[in-house]
Structure 1
Amino acid sequence: MDSSRKILILGASGLIGRFLTGDLRQRGFGVVAVARKFAASQVSQALDLEMPLLAMEASALARLIGEHAIDVIVNCLGVLQDAPGNDARAVHRDFVERLLSAIKANGRVIRLIHFSIPGSAKDDHTAFSATKREGEQMIAASGICYVILRPGFVVAPAAFGGSAMVRAFAALPLALPAAESAKPFQPVMIEDVAATVAWLASRDVEDGSVSGVTWDLMQQQPVTLGEVVSSFRRAFGTSDWPCIRLPGFLRDIGVKLADLVSWLGWKSPMRRTGIVELRRGVTGDPSAWIRATGIVPAELDGTALRAATIQDKWFARLYLIKALIVASLVVFWTVSGFIALFISYDAAAGLLRSHAFPSMLVAPITVLTSLMDMTIGVLIAFRRTCGFGLIWGILASLGYMIAAAILTPDLWIEPLGALVKTGPAIVLMLVALATLDSR
């Protein structure tokens, strides 16, 4: 294997891109990994570069390729659904157009390995799949050296989006609706995907036998989504658990809520596009890929998965509960502040007066604390400001407890125990803060 090639990975912070970066570097390839934003734990080398890829013109992309003498480009960029900061057309089509211009302007033969989705164009009913297919068509018509890879459901040590959702259902006594469980869902292990990219990267860029090809990457044995979840249940040790099958109306409510919160920055796999693509199924024909590379894909029959560790189980069990925690905290802060300010203002102010609170401070304190509570709730609701809102909520709760201990200590023995209950609320915010990272 020729590992002297320089490889540029675009979208290197994602599920596939991050694994490829580490795998190819271990194989000895020189890898330049680029993403809009890396988590602090993902940056391991100086060649892990943060760049605004979607804002870069073709000339800037050409400079990036030329400065690092890139031989192979691996494009892992993708978004599931339009939302603030996410535009399927901009990612899957417009960026690909600029990338192709940059490759042509470079003047060298460069192989593009482009990740797309399996299936037929006639089944493309979402902006996600339609723009993915447009990107494929542009690449095929470009005349450059390219390989389009269409992986099935990717199973990796890390979990994000749909792969995290599958783990959550496997680790909890929940079952998908029958219609979704029966959908074909051919998986592929991330190690087989990485082996394919390494095999392609080692081939001569002018080798016509691996240029202008499209491969489906997935196991040969057809399976359903329900069988994939069952494989994970065996890994989690939950195969014998009785499960509650979620009714369709709960799924539909979840989809509407997921679409709504996507405008707040939360990227749930339960959004409308995710469900439409799930109903389409994941199928393809991996024979051309297997024949060309000699790679025999692992079968997800329960043996391909390692036994789940305690951290795997905690993540899977908390994945859905995390959403409930954040939602409950948003409601807790915004509703409590709204009630105190608009519905029960007299009662809230009277509570302070009844505990000998200085009368001149009752009104401003009641108004300011109510506004602060609602502000904390709004901050927690938005993904970008959630961490700040949680920290502010913890500090505000501690401030309430300390102020009450100094100014109105008898509130601590109130029959309803309002201040005593603040302690568990702080713990819940600490849990939300600890599980906030998504990558």
Structure 2
Amino acid sequence: MKRKIMLLDIGRESRRMRQLLVTGRTFALLSFCSMVFFVLLGVAGMAHQQTTASPVNSMKGFAAAVSSGFFGDMLEMEMPAFQSGLETESFTTKQISVLLMRALTDINPSDPMSLLAGELPGLSANDAILIRKGIGTDTAVGPEDNTPITYDPSDGHHTDSGTDVPDTGTDGDENNEPDKLPVQTDKPAKPTDNEVDQPTTGGAKVAFIYHSHNRESWYPELTDKSKDPNSSTKNITLVGKRLAKMLEANGVGAQHSDTDYPTAIKDYRWELSYKYSMKTVKEAIASSKDLKFFFDLHRDSQKRKYTTIDIDGKSYAQVYFIIGHKNPNWQKNEAFATKIHEALDKKYPGISRGIWGKTAASGNAEYNQSLAEDNVLIEVGGVDNTLQESYRTADALAEVIADIYWKEEKASAAAKGKAS
């Protein structure tokens, strides 16, 4: 009898042990599955954050690479009553393969340099990614910002002011006044008596124009064509001055900085250009509460065939809009650039070569754009354009920027009226 009882006890203990083992295995399996789930969740979150923060991997990059007619066709398939009048461009196998390659890797099949850029630290490929496409834009050709080949200050010396930057509101040498250089414009500087009175900001300066690379010039404007197109006198600051003048003509108060950093900064270093210009922008913001729009004007390094367009028999320097990926709020700056880009496309078809995003792989990637939402870098023309072509583009920019400003002011006033 005792033996039977002992056997029963042993049996119960054995079953209890098996149950514990089964329970332990189940717990371990559940723990492992939970760990895997949370790891995958974290990876997915990081991937989502990277995708939404980067113009390189965003769906906007896909949207920019295909025609508006493509999306019109998609709507027609879902909505038979919708009839798109947009011309359709074929979505080729090459486009699909390029999009997939750039989404999964940092390699641009259209740019062989990108194959080596990741392995050779000294070699930086052009990492500009098209966010919004301009009319007729070749998606394989983006902006190109090259380091100057030479540096030769005009007077051979620097100031002794350390890293201080002079006042930002000066216009410099009046001999470089845009009015004294030959230029054709399609719009008078002031409204005629027959035109409706032009609205004005009065004494308020709402637009600030500056130049991080202020000596960028053009081969046709230089006497010595053998050097890099940079000049201490005839350079991109003249285009900035023209833009400010034409904004004023459209009633929008503008402030222009033509600071010559190579002579204003002791021991000037080209690679620190945006550090110097950031100080300029911060000083401007501190000195005026009215400033709303900020424009860093550059001259691109691409050749003439990529930077010039004829509109109504006149040649214009085309523009690239640059958005820095390093700026955490780049989407807001891109939204501002989009307003200008779309307005230009409507009034001057083909003058904009689109909006491009840049990472830190080959540039500053911030461009002072974190200082204000309505802040954008604009490349006006390239090394082979002329000052006159750049002036025409500055006039076009002033026209659409002023329109945007007054539309926003009107909408803001209407909203305040409803609130009251």
Q: TM-score range by the shorter chain?
A: under 0.3
- TM-score, normalised to structure 1, is 0.23
Larger Rg over CA atoms: 2
- TM-score, normalised to structure 2, is 0.24
Q: Which structure has more helix as a fraction of its residues?
A: 1
